[in-house]
Amino acid sequence: MQKLSPFVFGNLVNLQSFTNRENELKRLKNNLISGINTIIISPRRWGKSSLVEKTIMDINITDPDYKTVKIDLFSVNSEQEFLEKFAREVIKASSAKWEEWLKESKDIFKKLIPKFSIGIQPDSDFSISFDWEELKKYSDEILNLPEILATKKQVKFIICIDEFQNLAHFPNFEAVEKNMRAVWQKQKNVVYCLYGSKRDMMTNIFDNSSKPFYRFGDLLLLSKIKKEKWESFIVENFEKTNRRISQTFAGRITDLMKCHSWYVQQFSYYVWSETQNEVTDSIFCDALERLVQSNVPLFQNKIEEFSTGQINLLKAIAKNEKQLSSKETLKRYHLGTSAGVNKNKNTLLQKDIISEERGIIEFLDPVFELWFRKLYFDEDYLKH
């Protein structure tokens, strides 16, 4: 019988696969149970959602008086969608019985008239909607819903909202933003954990003194898990399943994946799944090839969206050019003008292809970088 993999990617990691976020876990848990709103920012696949999930699981075990709500805004495209989703998830979290959801809704809404849809499986087929014209006028009733329910039930709510920066795409976001802050800052029994992957957008919302959400809470910039922690995690999880991997191979995984949480787990899984007893060079190389090839369709689609100028800029970044606007670099990589470089760089930053920290520009996706280097420079994956 095939053993269950100790390495998880593509889903929220379980307790066994959760690794080395002790400090962040402690900070986030202390914040939330102390009523301190928290904003978490990091690129996608660095473990934000798993950190929040683990924190919420811990709180649900140790502090049953807290009602926890998780809302993902990745596919939410309008204010109406957001408000209706917010209302549905808060109401669902307030009770385990769908009959009470209906009763509560009839009691707590004073100006809005909710419409319900309940399927065969109420947990997954429960939805609530409102007339949009009325919802625009009385959106405060939705935004203040957790405080009303918390007061009524003598509990506290923790509201976790993923990809929060997506709200900034709403045409009337400035008005929405002001209203949300005005309502939420008065609440006594609700705390918010707002997290997102677009650093520029999230920073503009929460760290701009001219914005309503300025200093709304504790700002947590999630960093990568350290190399030595990953190495121990990989070696120990091989041992737990009666397989062996050397510290050297574990280190090569973390180095090639640049400690990227998703890819360290995915690469480790591919190596683990090919290993019966002990990892060899052949197993390692085959797993790396499998990892890259599994992502090629995605990378091909991604690169087709790039202009020639953007691809040339990525070539320069891949070659670790430091002075991207110097005459030599502009000429060598056919980058055009300095203004063109800045424009292409900003586009790649917005698309989450590259990151820029303290003047250092690098690829955000380490496997995409390996594939890109192979495609344009014919570099061996293991060379970098």
Domain boundary among 247, 270, 301: 301
Q: Provide the number of structural domains found in the chain.
A: 3
* In a domain? residue 3: no
- Which pLDDT score is estimated for 92? 87
Q: Which domain holds residue 268?
A: 227-301
- Which pLDDT score is estimated for 10? 63
What's the number of CA atoms in the CB half-sphere (13 Å) around residue 327?
0
- Which pLDDT score is estimated for 1? 44
* In a domain? residue 7: no
Cα(39)–Cα(217) distance, integer angstroms? 6
Together in a domain, 194 and 335: no
* In a domain? residue 253: yes
Determine the residue type at 352: D
Residue 325 sits in a domain of what CATH number? 1.10.10
* In a domain? residue 13: no
User: What single-letter DSSP state applies at residue 278?
Assistant: B
Cα(154)–Cα(151) distance, integer angstroms? 5
CA angle (260, 263, 265) in 5-degree steps? 105
Together in a domain, 165 and 295: no
The DSSP element (H or E) to which 116 belongs, if any, is strand 115-118
Together in a domain, 180 and 46: yes
Together in a domain, 281 and 331: no
Determine the residue type at 180: M
The low-confidence residues of the chain, meaning pLDDT below 50, are 1
Together in a domain, 37 and 139: yes
Together in a domain, 163 and 71: yes
**Residues facing 66 on adjacent strands:** 156
The pTM assigned to this predicted structure is 0.80
- Which pLDDT score is estimated for 48? 87
Together in a domain, 247 and 277: yes
